[in-house]
Structure 1
């Protein structure tokens, strides 16, 4: 993940927290996930660069998840960015997040904001059980039931986001080009 990708992810979180006046990280992760798959289905590329993994309670952006959970192997640079900009709850409310500043909208496109606004509207008030069930799509199921790391596939997420067949082909072509250039 590049410096820009980390800053953009930080701004995405701040945008969500500013719009919601604070939220638990479970809802933040799911809002990002649903915004990302909608963006992927509509525009053919992810809104955020984080890898999504299928955990028992649904998809999570794995690098962000490790930073929020204070994992010893987390990306230190991203964790520092988050520590400077996002306040975590304490004691019984450890899972709550609040923004320490406004999001820098220079890092977010109109398409990003559109996808985030839609996802915030649809998901911010869903009870845990409904949000969990909603996030357990076909790609989550495929990834969750595989051996090893449970990384979700971009094409599968696009399909879960209702991407057209033409968009699926476009995404596959772009992934092939990226792989050839890597």
Structure 2
């Protein structure tokens, strides 16, 4: 299904910014920090931060493209040439079977809008100290629950914005943007 187009450079640099601040983190922590940044960006501006497709997985939302990039870095292989090329920005190692990601370079913050950086930094501040269980429970919001109960696990950006209690005006704006671009939002 078609959703907002993923901005691959923005996704890469958002993940790098998170890792530049945290140093090293597991997939789960990175995905959840990015999800909450994405959620707040939608709530405040009616636009996704990265445009990545979030899947409702058992331990919370997972951004599909970024997951492919991390797996390509870990395996040094991918059927997706873009994921393999971008994976060079990261190294992945396993500790007790848990994959940890480290950046190999600094984020190019020129690829991120000021609002993107603000959302990411706020999400880091709010979520970096949460335990695995705490951040998982927090990410099991209404958008996750709705997608998790559906036959398809893809999360809707409109549902993500609603779960953040976006204003009716922002929700209408997201709906209109999707209609204008023939995009799936729910």
Q: Which position in structure 2 is the counterpart of 1:141?
A: 145
Deviation, 1:116, is: 0.1
Deviation, 1:8, is: 1.4
Aligned pair in 2 of structure 1 residues 104, 158: CA closer, same or farther (>3 Å)? same
Tell me the matched-pair count.
177
Q: Which sections of structure 2, spanning at least 5 residues, go unmatched?
A: none
Deviation, 1:94, is: 4.9
Q: Which position in structure 2 is the counterpart of 1:124?
A: 128
Which residue, 11, 14, 18 being the options, matches 1:12? Answer: 14
Distance (Å, rounded) in 2 between the aligned partners of 1:28 and 1:105:
17
Q: Is the 8 A contact 2:69 2:86 kept in 1?
A: no
Which residue, 48, 51, 56 being the options, matches 2:50? Answer: 48
Deviation, 1:160, is: 1.1
Q: Is the 8 A contact 1:63 1:74 kept in 2?
A: no
Distance (Å, rounded) in 2 between the aligned partners of 1:170 and 1:4:
19
- Structure-2-length-normalised TM-score: 0.88
Mapping 1:43-82, distance limit 5 Å: 43-70=45-72, 75-82=80-87
Give 3-state SS (helix, strand or coil) of 1:68's partner: helix
Structure with the higher fraction of residues in helix conformation: 1
RMSD: 2.2
Distance (Å, rounded) in 2 between the aligned partners of 1:80 and 1:104:
16
Q: Is the 8 A contact 1:67 1:74 kept in 2?
A: no
